[in-house]
Structure 1
Amino acid sequence: MSGDRERDESGQFEPEYTDEEIIQAVRLNEPAGTQEVADELGIARQSVDYRLRKLLDQGHVEKQKIGNSLVWRVSE
């Protein structure tokens, strides 16, 4: 519930899951689709997509196009 979540200094809600929890969900489902990660954590696909793209920019995960699907892997 959003009423239980903490806000950061700028007033934004703190993420429900840490980067490591997102990475672990990718690792468990590799190659992991965005929806698979969302289902693993029980959060919206859009939220997971946003977080995965941030992790991609930081070099923690890699993306790959397989057919029409985008999948994620943990960077080594």
Structure 2
Amino acid sequence: MSDRTRDDETKQFSQEYTDDDFLEAIRECPVPSTGEIAEAVGCYRKTVLKRLGELEKQGEVGHKKVSGKAKVWYIDDE
């Protein structure tokens, strides 16, 4: 059983990671691929793709495909 908490009102699980966790990982990783970011934050690649996808829609980050499905992420304002 998971030890994550669920919001009583929305029934959604609370987010374990902040946007800053992902942005900091992009800044600190030499080549911030999805896998590198997942390792730095301590989450699944799927979580990275979801959260960075949301940040990309907000104009915070962008990505470049480097081969096949591999993506390298960057902070859009830098």
TM-score range, shorter chain: 0.7 to 0.9
**Residue 47 of structure 2 aligns to which amino acid in structure 1?**
S
**Which ranges in structure 2 are unaligned for 5 or more consecutive residues?**
none
**Max Rg structure:** 2
- TM-score when scaled to structure 2? 0.82
Percent identity reads 36
- TM-score when scaled to structure 1? 0.84
Check 1:9–1:27 CA distance in 2 against 1; reply closer, same or farther (3 A cut). Answer: farther
Between Structure 1 and Structure 2, which shows a larger proportion of helix residues? 1
**Which ranges in structure 1 are unaligned for 5 or more consecutive residues?**
none
- 1 or 2 for the larger relative contact order (CA 8 Å, sep ≥6)? 1
- Aligned-residue Cα RMSD (Å) equals 1.9
| Aligned length, in residue pairs | 76
